[in-house]
């Protein structure tokens, strides 16, 4: 059995853990998939590269409102796709070569615990004083009758298809459905989305969710309060039986995309055999310092948290690195301010509490909403649907939540994230800071002054 000082399970954010401070240790990294994890290979980065192309197509089609008469004659899907993956795919081999060149043993087979701190990797067994579990997550495949008889895609595979279908049926109404709905409808695909709830993006603030649903309905066919009860092949595509408020009916599409959630990969790890405690969703249970129930074993990323966000995993990786190197000065990480963005159309960004969460908790709060249309740059955009929504505590004048729907939302929200992280009152960030005129940040400023 090979003995190591440090073994990292997962080459996504786990790979980022291995800084030069570990160069003197006997180290191994284990991942049966590609280096870079979900984010690089089939998540954040490639999907946003597709979104940029979709935004370009949509901007051309909607430029008439500005007096610019443009059109999109053709979307070369293969060129769009190859631009993305010709840049991403070579990174795996270079990452493996880099790690091996630094003296790190790289295992490309799956790891499974056979005992606490003992792993089976292929035909070998390895052990280590310190182990970091960063095995990520994967798409959930629902138990729908007939799904095993049809060709379907998940977010893992949809970006690598050879040709655009004429039509696509999307199961799910979360951020993955919203982003891919935007991409494929912008590329000319007839998109139908089936969502169990009454709105898309139900986890967002209800006002944002409602506005986005209204706008998405102008571009895609939405079947709300509905679910797919069965599927079967139909030529090169699929027929789905959909049950909704008006009963059951069939929906045909050239391609099926399933995006109903993700699950941690801990079940493939035999976590229980390693002595790791899991919660009811399969996430490894840790403390705020990311120590597991087994001394010397740490965990981070999608295997631990429910956010499924790369920037959260990166922050956790930095904390775990510090704690392994400095066991007498352990740091913790609070996820109370964990922002996220949905790169759909319009873009959405959020941090902190939604209004429905604040109501549910019985918090005494105030709300301020400002439309982009109230700013000079909003006039320039001819924007009539975007807004900034802020919640603050009446008791201490601190921001509780920030929600933006509209162009550049993921950028506009950053000063509000910093304010919440640094404990600044709305008075300080609203009155003591200058906001550039006539930038879109004036919508943020006006919402703050409204509070």
Confidence band, pLDDT 50/70/90 cuts, at residue 61: very high
- Give the single-character DSSP code of 78: H
* 419 has pLDDT over 90: yes
Q: For 176, phi and psi rounded to 5 degrees?
A: -70, -40
| CATH fourth-level superfamily of 346-450 | FAD/NAD-linked reductase, C-terminal dimerisation domain (3.30.390.30)
- Name the catalytic one among 249, 326, 360, 437: 437
Query: Which residues make Cβ contacts (< 8 Å) with residue 33, sequence separation at least 6?
Result: 11, 41
* 334 has pLDDT over 90: no
* 335 has pLDDT over 90: no
Question: Tell me: the pLDDT tens digits for 151-204?
Answer: 999 999 999 999 999 999 999 999 999 999 999 999 999 999 999 999 999 999
Question: Tell me: the pLDDT tens digits for 83-103?
Answer: 999 999 999 999 999 999 999
Q: Report the mean per-residue pLDDT for the chain.
A: 97
pLDDT value of position 149: 97
Confidence band, pLDDT 50/70/90 cuts, at residue 336: confident
% of the chain beyond a pLDDT of 90 = 99
pLDDT value of position 20: 95
pTM recorded for the entire structure? 0.96
Mean pLDDT of 424-451: 97
Mean pLDDT of 329-357: 95
Mean pLDDT of 28-38: 97
We find that the CATH architecture of domain 2-137+263-325 is 3-Layer(bba) Sandwich (3.50)
Question: Tell me: the pLDDT tens digits for 108-125?
Answer: 999 999 999 999 999 999
| CATH fourth-level superfamily of 147-260 | FAD/NAD(P)-binding domain (3.50.50.60)
Query: Is 311 noted as a catalytic residue in this protein?
Result: no
Question: Tell me: the pLDDT tens digits for 245-291?
Answer: 999 999 999 999 999 999 999 999 999 999 999 999 999 999 999 99
**What is 255-272 written as a DSSP string?**
EEEE-S-EEEGGGGGTGG
Burial (CB count within 10 angstroms: exposed 0-12, middle 13-18, buried 19+), residue 398: middle
pLDDT value of position 442: 98
100: enclosing H helix or E strand: helix 90-101
Q: Which two tokens stand for residue 54?
A: 């979709």
Q: Do 2-137+263-325 and 147-260 show the same overall fold?
A: yes
Q: What are the residue boundaries of the structural domains of the chain, listed by start?
A: 2-137+263-325, 147-260, 346-450
Confidence band, pLDDT 50/70/90 cuts, at residue 384: very high
Mean pLDDT of 349-367: 98
User: Tokens 């209004």 correspond to what residue?
Assistant: 355
- Give the single-character DSSP code of 283: P
């Amino acid at each position: 059995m090979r003995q190591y000082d440090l073994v990292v399970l997962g080459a996504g954010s786990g790979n980022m853990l291995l800084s030069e401070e570990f160069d003197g240790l006997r180290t191994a990294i284990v991942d049966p998939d590609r280096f870079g994890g979900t984010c690089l290979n089939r998540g954040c980065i490639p999907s946003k590269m597709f979104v940029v192309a979709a935004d370009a197509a949509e901007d051309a089609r909607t430029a008439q409102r500005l007096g610019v008469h443009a059109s999109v004659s053709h979307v070369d899907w293969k060129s769009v796709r190859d631009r993305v993956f010709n840049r991403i795919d070579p990174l795996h081999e270079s990452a493996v070569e880099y790690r091996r060149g630094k003296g790190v043993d790289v295992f490309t087979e799956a790891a499974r615990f056979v005992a606490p701190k003992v792993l089976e990797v292929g035909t070998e067994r390895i052990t280590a004083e310190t182990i970091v579990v960063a095995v990520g997550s994967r798409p959930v495949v629902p138990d729908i009758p007939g799904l095993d008889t049809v060709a379907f895609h998940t977010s893992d595979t949809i970006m690598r298809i050879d040709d655009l279908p004429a039509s696509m049926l999307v199961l799910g109404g979360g951020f993955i459905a919203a982003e891919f709905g935007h991409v494929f409808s912008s590329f000319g695909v007839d998109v139908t989305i089936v969502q169990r709830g009454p709105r898309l993006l139900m986890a967002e603030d209800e006002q944002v969710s409602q506005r986005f649903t209204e706008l998405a309905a102008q571009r895609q066919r939405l079947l709300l309060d509905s679910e797919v009860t069965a599927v079967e092949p139909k030529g090169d595509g699929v027929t789905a039986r959909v049950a909704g408020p008006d009963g059951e009916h069939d929906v045909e599409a050239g391609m099926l995309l399933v995006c109903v959630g993700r699950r941690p990969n801990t079940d493939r790890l035999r976590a229980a055999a390693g002595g790791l405690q899991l919660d009811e969703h399969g996430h490894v249970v840790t403390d705020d310092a990311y120590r597991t129930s087994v001394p010397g074993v740490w965990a981070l990323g999608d295997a631990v948290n429910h956010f499924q966000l790369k920037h959260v995993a990166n922050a956790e990786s930095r904390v775990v690195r510090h704690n392994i190197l400095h066991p007498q000065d352990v740091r913790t990480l609070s996820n109370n301010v964990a922002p996220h963005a949905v790169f759909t159309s319009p873009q959405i960004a959020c941090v902190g509490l939604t209004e429905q969460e604040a109501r549910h908790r019985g918090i005494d709060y105030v709300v301020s909403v400002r439309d982009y249309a109230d700013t000079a740059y909003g006039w320039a955009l001819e924007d009539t649907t975007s807004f900034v929504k802020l919640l603050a505590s009446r008791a201490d004048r601190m921001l509780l939540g920030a929600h933006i729907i509209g162009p550049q939302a993921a950028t506009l929200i950053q000063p509000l994230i910093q304010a919440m992280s640094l404990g600044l009152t709305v008075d300080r960030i609203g009155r003591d800071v200058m906001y550039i005129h006539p930038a879109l940040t004036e919508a943020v400023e006006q919402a703050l002054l409204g509070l």
